[in-house]
Chains A and B, each alone.
Chain A
Amino acid sequence: MPASYFDVDGTLVSTNLIPPTLYYLLNQPTPLHVAKKLGKALLKAPMMVWAELQDRRLFNEALFTVLEGTSEDRLVTLAEDVFERVLKPAIYPGAKDLVATSLDKGHEVVLVSGALDVVMQHFARYLGATGVIANRLEIHDRYATGKLLRPVVAGPNKALLVRDHARAAGHDLDECFAYSDSYSDVPMLSIVGYPVAVNADRRLRMLASAYHWPIIDLARAA
Chain B
Amino acid sequence: MSHPCVVTLNSRSAPRTLFSGEQLVEVDLPTGTRVIYPKPPIVALKDVDAAIRYAIHHPHNSAPLYARLRPGMKVTIAIDDISLPLPQMKRPDIRERVLTIVLALLADHGVDDIELIIATSVHRRMKGFEVRHAVGDRIFNRYWPDKLYNHDAEDKDNMVLLGTTEEGEEVEINRRAAESDLVIYVNLNLVPMDGGHKSVAVGLCGYRSLRAHHNPSTMRNCHSYMNPATSALARSVDRMGRLVNQKLNVFTIETVLNNRMFDRPLEFLAKNEDDLSATEKTALRALRFTLDKLPQPARQAIFQRVPSPFGVIAVNAGETEAAHEKTLEKNFEQYCVPITGQADILVSGIPYISPYNVNSFLNPLLVQVMANGYLFNLYKGAPMVKKGGTMIVMHPCTDLFDNEHHAPYIEFVHRLLPETRDALELHQRFEKKFANNAAYIEMYRKGHAYHPTHPFFMWYWGEAGRQHLGRMIVVGADNEYIPKLLGWETARTMDEALRMAKLTAPANPDITCLHYPPIGMADVTA
Partners in one complex: yes
B-contacting residues of A (Cβ < 8 Å)? Answer: 4, 94, 97-98, 101-102, 104-107, 177, 179, 194, 196, 209, 212, 214-218, 221-222
Q: How far is the CA of A177 from the CA of B420 in the complex (A)?
A: 23
B515 adjacent to chain A (CB < 8 Å): no
Q: How far is the CA of A196 from the CA of B438 in the complex (A)?
A: 10
Residues of B within 8 A of A177 (CB): 438-439
Cβ contact within 8 Å between A97 and B439? no
Q: Of B161-169, B406-414, B481-489, which binds chain A?
A: B406-414
15 A-B pairs in the complex with CB atoms less than 8 angstroms apart: A4-B438, A97-B442, A97-B445, A98-B442, A101-B154, A101-B442, A105-B438, A105-B441, A107-B438, A179-B439, A209-B403, A216-B442, A217-B447, A218-B442, A221-B446
Shortest C-beta distance, A47 to chain B (Å), equals: 38
Cβ contact within 8 Å between B401 and A98? no
Q: How far is the CA of A196 from the CA of B411 in the complex (A)?
A: 13
Residues of A within 8 A of B437 (CB): 105, 194
**Residue of A98, A177, A212 with highest tally of chain B CB at under 10 A:** A212
Q: How far is the CA of A199 from the CA of B16 in the complex (A)?
A: 49
A-contacting residues of B (Cβ < 8 Å)? Answer: 145, 154, 156, 401, 403-404, 407, 410-411, 414, 436-443, 445-447
The A interface, classified by DSSP as helix, strand, loop or mixed, is mixed
Residues of B within 8 A of A94 (CB): 442, 446
Q: How far is the CA of A218 from the CA of B414 in the complex (A)?
A: 26
Residues of A within 8 A of B404 (CB): 215
- 14 more CB-based (< 8 A) A-B contacts, given A104-B438, A105-B441, A212-B403: A4-B438, A97-B446, A98-B438, A104-B156, A105-B436, A105-B438, A107-B438, A177-B439, A212-B401, A212-B411, A214-B407, A216-B439, A218-B446, A222-B145
Q: Please tell me which one of the listed residues B156, B403, B438, B441 contacts residue A215 in the complex, with CB atoms under 8 A apart.
A: B403
Q: How far is the CA of A177 from the CA of B443 in the complex (A)?
A: 15
Q: How far is the CA of A98 from the CA of B446 in the complex (A)?
A: 10
Taking A212-B410, A221-B446, A221-B447 as contacts, is the C-beta distance between A101 and B438 under 8 angstroms?
yes
Residues of A within 8 A of B156 (CB): 104
Taking A212-B403, A214-B407 as contacts, is the C-beta distance between A102 and B438 under 8 angstroms?
yes
Residues of A within 8 A of B447 (CB): 216-217, 221
Shortest C-beta distance, A107 to chain B (Å), equals: 7
Q: Please tell me which one of the listed residues B414, B436, B439, B445 contacts residue A214 in the complex, with CB atoms under 8 A apart.
A: B439
Q: How far is the CA of A165 from the CA of B401 in the complex (A)?
A: 34
Q: How far is the CA of A101 from the CA of B444 in the complex (A)?
A: 12
CB nearest to A175 among chain B residues: B433
Q: How far is the CA of A194 from the CA of B440 in the complex (A)?
A: 10
Residues of B within 8 A of A216 (CB): 439, 442-443, 446-447
Residues of A within 8 A of B401 (CB): 212
Q: How far is the CA of A94 from the CA of B444 in the complex (A)?
A: 12
CB nearest to B441 among chain A residues: A101
Q: How far is the CA of A94 from the CA of B439 in the complex (A)?
A: 12
Shortest C-beta distance, A91 to chain B (Å), equals: 14
Residues of A within 8 A of B443 (CB): 214, 216
Residues of A within 8 A of B445 (CB): 97, 101
Residues of A within 8 A of B439 (CB): 98, 177, 179, 194, 196, 214, 216
CB nearest to A179 among chain B residues: B439
Q: How far is the CA of A216 from the CA of B403 in the complex (A)?
A: 10
CB nearest to A107 among chain B residues: B438
CB nearest to B154 among chain A residues: A101
Shortest C-beta distance, B154 to chain A (Å), equals: 8
Residues of B within 8 A of A222 (CB): 145, 446
